[in-house]
């Protein structure tokens, strides 16, 4: 590595990161487009973006029904920690996963032919119909397929 290349790498690593408190909170009604999840937010719902990477992004989706932590993966393999495959939810496969931290009920929604997945977990999930009503609102699309969808809020990785 040349000294100029090493300097550029160090300069990029030295860039200050954005503190969690500086991230925006996005309010509905609006279409939110994550790395895989597309959610039509209702007027009383919000998205709080979290960490992003090359093929993944995290966010907190909240509304009067509670809140859910979501991890989108744009290049996913079959989910791990599966308790059971629950069948199809529209065009997607729905999996119930091993409970997470604080006995959080977790699901994975997968579009396996396209390698898209949304891992969704919430302490407000009960394992019943309420959970499915929330999960049905998630559509999975690649970021490049969402151009023209009217996304008001979009998660993406910007490298400086």
Q: Residue 98 belongs to a domain with what CATH number? A: 3.40.1000
Q: Which long-range contacts (CB under 8 A, 24 or more apart) does 18-22 make?
A: 20/50
17 assigned to some structural domain: no
DSSP 3-state assignment of 34? coil
9 assigned to some structural domain: no
CB hemisphere CA count around 29 (13 angstroms): 2
Angstrom CA distances, 26 to 33, 60, 79, 124, stand at 11, 10, 28, 21
Q: Any idea what DSSP says for residue 19? A: P
Whole-structure pTM value: 0.79
4 assigned to some structural domain: no
Among candidate residues 72, 29, 73, 67, the one with its CA nearest the CA of residue 48: 67
5 assigned to some structural domain: no
Asked if pLDDT for residue 149 goes beyond 60, the answer is yes
Among candidate residues 75, 72, 80, the one with its CA nearest the CA of residue 138: 72
Asked if pLDDT for residue 152 goes beyond 50, the answer is yes
Residue range(s) defining the domain that contains residue 134: 24-152
Torsion of CA 4, 7, 156, 140, to 10 degrees: 80
110 assigned to some structural domain: yes
49 assigned to some structural domain: yes
3 assigned to some structural domain: no
Domain count, the chain: 1
125 assigned to some structural domain: yes
Taking the C-alpha atoms of residue 141 and residue 138, their distance in angstroms, rounded to an integer, is: 10
pLDDT band at 75 (very low <50, low <70, confident <90, very high): confident
Return the structure tokens found at 27. 């309010």
Asked if pLDDT for residue 60 goes beyond 90, the answer is yes
Asked if pLDDT for residue 113 goes beyond 70, the answer is yes
């Amino acid at each position: 590595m040349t000294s100029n290349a090493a300097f550029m790498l160090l300069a990029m690593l030295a860039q200050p990161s954005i503190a969690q408190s500086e991230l925006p909170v996005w309010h509905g009604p609006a279409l939110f487009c994550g790395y895989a999840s597309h959610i039509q937010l209702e007027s009383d719902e919000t998205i709080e973006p979290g960490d992003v990477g090359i093929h993944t992004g995290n966010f907190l989706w909240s509304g009067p029904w509670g809140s859910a932590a979501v991890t989108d993966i744009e290049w996913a393999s079959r989910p791990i920690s599966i308790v059971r495959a629950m069948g199809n939810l529209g065009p997607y496969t729905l999996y119930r996963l091993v409970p997470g931290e604080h006995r959080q009920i977790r699901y994975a929604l997968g579009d396996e032919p396209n390698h898209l997945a949304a891992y969704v977990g919430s302490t407000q999930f009960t394992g019943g119909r309420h959970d499915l009503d929330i999960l049905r609102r998630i559509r999975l699309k690649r970021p490049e397929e969402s151009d023209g969808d009217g996304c008001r809020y979009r998660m993406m990785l910007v490298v400086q």
